[in-house]
Amino acid sequence: MITFQTFASSSSGNAALLAAGDTRLLVDMGVSCRRLCQALSDRDLTAGDLTAVVVTHEHTDHVSGLAAYIKKYATPILCTPGTAWQLQRRLPAIGALLRPAELGKAVRVGEAAVTLLPTSHDCAQGAAVHVAAAGGSVGLLTDTGYILEETGRRLLGVDLLVLESNHQEELVLAGPYPYGLKRRVLGPKGHLSNGDAARYAAASARAGTGTILLAHLSQENNTPQLALETVGGALEAAGWTGRLAVAPGGEAGELYTLERTVCGE
Ligand SMILES: [Zn+2]
Ligand SMILES: [Zn+2]
């Protein structure tokens, strides 16, 4: 069985807990150590119970709690070599904890197989995450301007897809962001729009995905209703009968449970 819960999901902070048996992976630590401990304690866990922390990339909204965390806990940190380099540059003490993993190669972490996959984002070497374990498969895809072919292919049809639905393009264009920031958000190294999410969600739904959780919504250029309408419309047109939801931005979300038995990765 796999359980999955977001603790925060927005442009101001991201963290999620994926548990497979006794293996507990925190994906990103873009919340304070205090908030993390509170969220874990609501699940009867402590920060020392984490098996590993997976860091998708070095942007603050994904790593803000790390500096305080590594002062107290020696949990291994899994990330791409490029992200490892960036983290070590900022936090020299993190070096001994880093476990750089090549993109596309599965790494065994306790009862889970974790594969980092490439993204297109304005960071050193960002990653999407595929996790397979007894119970099913989870794909996490946020912080990418577009979906790279290899990543899209690998995550297609996962049981639970956590998919960025960052902004509504019209709202970015009409909004108060300076021109450079608008270009960044909408560009090939920015973030997935509701329309991008809708297209990939529909493809993944056709490939067998049962639950889609929209994530990393912009607080300025999106609303949960708008994201649900856009992606939900595409899923309805694809005849999908699965479950679609939005991860709350600043608080812990619902607990998702996967119980399918899968072979291999
Ligand atoms: Zn982010
Ligand atoms: Zn980012």
Convert the pLDDT of each residue in 37-58 to its tens digit: 999 999 999 999 999 999 999 9
| Residue 93 CB coordination number (10 Å) | 10
Q: Name the domain count of the chain.
A: 1
Which residues place a Cβ less than 5 A from the ion ligand 1? 61, 143
Q: How far is CA 132 from CA 23, 135, 154, 178, in A?
A: 12, 8, 12, 41
Ligand nearest to the CA of residue 164, numbered in listed order: 1
- The rounded Å distance from CA 248 to ligand 1 centre is 14
155-207 tens-digit pLDDT: 999 999 999 999 999 999 999 999 999 999 999 999 999 999 999 999 999 99
Does residue 265 lie within any of the structural domains?
no
CATH number at residue 196: 3.60.15.10
90-145 tens-digit pLDDT: 999 999 999 999 999 999 999 999 999 999 999 999 999 999 999 999 999 999 99
Q: 129-134 long-range CB contacts below 8 Å, 24 or more apart?
A: 129/27, 129/54, 129/56, 130/154, 130/155, 130/158, 131/2, 131/18, 131/20, 131/25, 132/106, 132/262, 132/264, 132/265, 133/2, 133/20, 133/21, 133/23, 134/1, 134/2, 134/20, 134/21, 134/261, 134/262
Does residue 105 lie within any of the structural domains?
yes
- The rounded Å distance from CA 119 to ligand 1 centre is 12
Which residues place a Cβ less than 5 A from the ion ligand 2? 59, 143
Nearest-angstrom CA–CA distance, 95 and 98: 6
- The rounded Å distance from CA 145 to ligand 2 centre is 10
Does residue 263 lie within any of the structural domains?
no
Does residue 264 lie within any of the structural domains?
no
Confidence band, pLDDT 50/70/90 cuts, at residue 263? low
149 is in which domain, residue-wise? 2-253
What per-residue confidence (pLDDT) applies to 265? 47
**Which 8-state DSSP code applies to residue 255?**
P
Does residue 194 lie within any of the structural domains?
yes
* Paired sense of beta strands 77-79 and 136-141, if any: unpaired
Does residue 260 lie within any of the structural domains?
no
Does residue 147 lie within any of the structural domains?
yes
- The whole model's pTM is what? 0.96
Q: Are 43 and 67 in contact (CB under 8 A)?
A: no
- The rounded Å distance from CA 184 to ligand 2 centre is 11
